[in-house]
Chain A
Amino acid sequence: AAGVIQSPRHLIKEKRETATLKCYPIPRHDTVYWYQQGPGQDPQFLISFYEKMQSDKGSIPDRFSAQQFSDYHSELNMSSLELGDSALYFCASSLERGNRDTEAFFGQGTRLTVV
């Protein structure tokens, strides 16, 4: 079965550079979530989109922005990177419409290292 695809799997950037992470949800899923997991930390919710509209916002820095496109894939844009942005970034997708007991399926994550 198709899963959530994230690219790239690994990314190394220098401080103050910009990074773009991509997420391709499971086909027909209408909701995408972004999480950040720092070293030895639990995943923290950043932002989510339902039907291409932002549906919820968590602890996402102002330097970060995200959007969901017409084909439902999502991109997380990160500017002015800081060392503290080094983390594993997860994307998850789910089917929310008409689905009460839904669950989120996670991608393998993108490991971002800022040097």
Chain B
Amino acid sequence: AQSVTQLGSHVSVSEGALVLLRCNYSSSVPPYLFWYVQYPNQGLQLLLKYTSAATLVKGINGFEAEFKKSETSFHLTKPSAHMSDAAEYFCAVRFSGGYNKLIFGAGTRLAVHP
């Protein structure tokens, strides 16, 4: 079965500091992996996705993630946090074939302080 684990339900960083949000997956088949961001009272916006092409994936708003098969990880990073990055971040996995049902992690709430 496929699953996603996000380590740390809350992460707090200073403005300008490195952002690192952790995601580990479990999948018996090659996974497709996604990071979504959710601002308060908003929908889910796709940040980036891994679909078995390049292992380093660049997304919107300066975020990137690296797929590491040996570590079954897909951590999200951003070199310099901005106040506007404060939001809930969800890692998600879906089957590499078939329909697009997403399995989400529990989410990580990112706080950015001055």
Binding site for B on A (CB under 8 A): 31, 33, 35, 41-45, 48, 50, 55-56, 58, 90, 92, 94, 96, 100-109, 111
Contact = CB atoms under 8 A, between A and B. Distances in A.
A53 to B, nearest CB: 11
A45 B100 contact: no
Contact of A94 (B90, B100, B107): B100
A66 B99 CA distance: 17
B80 interface: no
Interface size range of chain B in the complex: 20 to 34
B23 to A, nearest CB: 12
A96 B99 contact: yes
A39 B72 CA distance: 29
Contact of A107 (B36, B43, B46, B102): B43
Contacts of B101: 33, 45, 48, 56, 58
